Amino acid sequence: MYAVQQALALSAWEEDVMGVPAWKSLPSWYLVAQNDEAIPPDAERQFAQRMGATTIEIPSSHVAMVSHPAEVADLVEKAAASVGAAASR
């Protein structure tokens, strides 16, 4: 993970107008890391609720994909299967 982290581009501080967020029209999934110290778990829950996301919670820190890879992979697989099932209708 360290090898791909970079400083923010200067353009991140410019006031670009963004379009409509995808979660407003597409299904969403969210993993709440209950022990996250970078993003408060209550904020994560609020984000998930606002987007109407299918949500799971795990007792993990900010990098759940490292400490709980099976649970993260399961969530991704369920999301992919759900989207795939909807597309084939």
The residue that leads in pLDDT, 66 or 10, is 66
Calpha distance 19→26 (Å, rounded): 14
Write the Ramachandran bin of 8: left for phi over 0, alpha for psi from -120 to 50, otherwise beta: beta
Check: CB of residue 45 under 8 Å from CB of residue 24.
no
Tell me the average pLDDT of the chain.
Answer: 89
pLDDT tens digits for range 29-40? 999 999 999 999
Check: CB of residue 58 under 8 Å from CB of residue 68.
yes
Query: For position 89, what pLDDT does the model report?
Result: 65
The residue that leads in pLDDT, 14 or 59, is 59
Confidence of residue 13 (pLDDT cuts 50, 70, 90): confident
pTM for the full predicted model? 0.77
Per-residue pLDDT, averaged over 48-69, amounts to 95
